[in-house]
Amino acid sequence: MGSHGIVLFAHGARDARWAEPFQRLSARLRELRGESASGPVSLAFLELMTPDLPAAVAQQVADGASVVTVVPVFFGQGGHIRRDLPLILDQCRAAHPSVEIRCSTAVGEDADVIEAIAGYCLRQAF
Amino acid sequence: MGSHGIVLFAHGARDARWAEPFQRLSARLRELRGESASGPVSLAFLELMTPDLPAAVAQQVADGASVVTVVPVFFGQGGHIRRDLPLILDQCRAAHPSVEIRCSTAVGEDADVIEAIAGYCLRQAF
């Protein structure tokens, strides 16, 4: 049985510094999954940065993943998530028919994430 | 003495559904500030949605804010935050010279926010 990979899917930007929180996020996620990690954690981008999602998924499959969960690191479920991403996921599934490719809702839809952001905002205004 | 407002500054998108997490965030932030809120909480957008930041700040000033803290609800400190936002803040400060207009770093730079996102990602892959 293969491993279960996570691909953090972000928008991308021209400015390399933009990616820093995503790099910290992937590093922290690797820590949380532990030494006995059940699979890889990668970053992928919609545009302006590499790798794109098909390349990141292909790499995880080449490394032995039998399940890949894509987590959109976006605040909202806008056009990129509701229109662009499903088409890219279809490409990935067609390229790797024996791999289960799942996708979660955007991180900004999670109540705990909203709570953490609200807490941060609150601390800025005292 | 006036109130201390918070303006949540987001990118904006064509799809109205994209704004939902920001609406939940502002509602939650109003709750956290309590009934005896020391000031208003508003949303503002860089593009594609209204109001823009100058309009949101002007409204808070009209409502009596003497301090306005802008919190960029972005993951990374890319070009929008490092180049576009300072110019918009300069406009706001020029329009309201008697108001103190502060700006925090992007929410994605906060360790607690990254921790919450990492926790969400982890729960998607079990």
Residue to mutate among B81, B85, B124, with most A CBs inside 10 A, is B124
**Cβ atoms < 10 Å from Cβ of B87:** 8
Q: What is the CATH number of the domain that holds B18?
A: 3.40.50.1400
pLDDT at position B88 is 98
What's the structural domain count of chain A? 1
Q: Which domain holds residue A91?
A: 3-124
Distance from CA of B48 to the nearest CA of A (A): 12
Taking CB atoms and an 8 Å limit, are A117 and B82 in contact across chains?
no
Distance from CA of A88 to the nearest CA of B (A): 19
From first to last of the 126 residues of chain A, give the pLDDT tens digit: 789 999 999 999 999 999 999 999 999 999 999 855 678 999 999 999 999 999 999 999 999 999 999 999 999 988 999 999 999 999 999 999 999 999 999 999 999 999 999 999 999 987
pLDDT at position B37 is 62
Tokens of A79: 């056009």
Q: What is the 3-state secondary structure (H, E, C) of chain B?
A: CCEEEEEEEECCCCCHHHHHHHHHHHHHHHHHHCCCCCCCEEEEECCCCCCCHHHHHHHHHHCCEEEEEEEECCCCCCHHHHHHHHHHHHHHHHHCCCCEEEECCCHHHCHHHHHHHHHHHHHHCC
H helix or E strand, kind and range, residue A57: helix A53-62
User: Low-confidence residues of chain B, pLDDT below 50?
Assistant: none
Whether residue A104 contacts residue A41, with contact meaning beta carbons closer than 8 Å, is answered with no
Whether residue B62 contacts residue B56, with contact meaning beta carbons closer than 8 Å, is answered with no
Whether the predicted interface score ipTM is above 0.90: yes
Residue to mutate among A112, A113, A123, with most B CBs inside 10 A, is A113
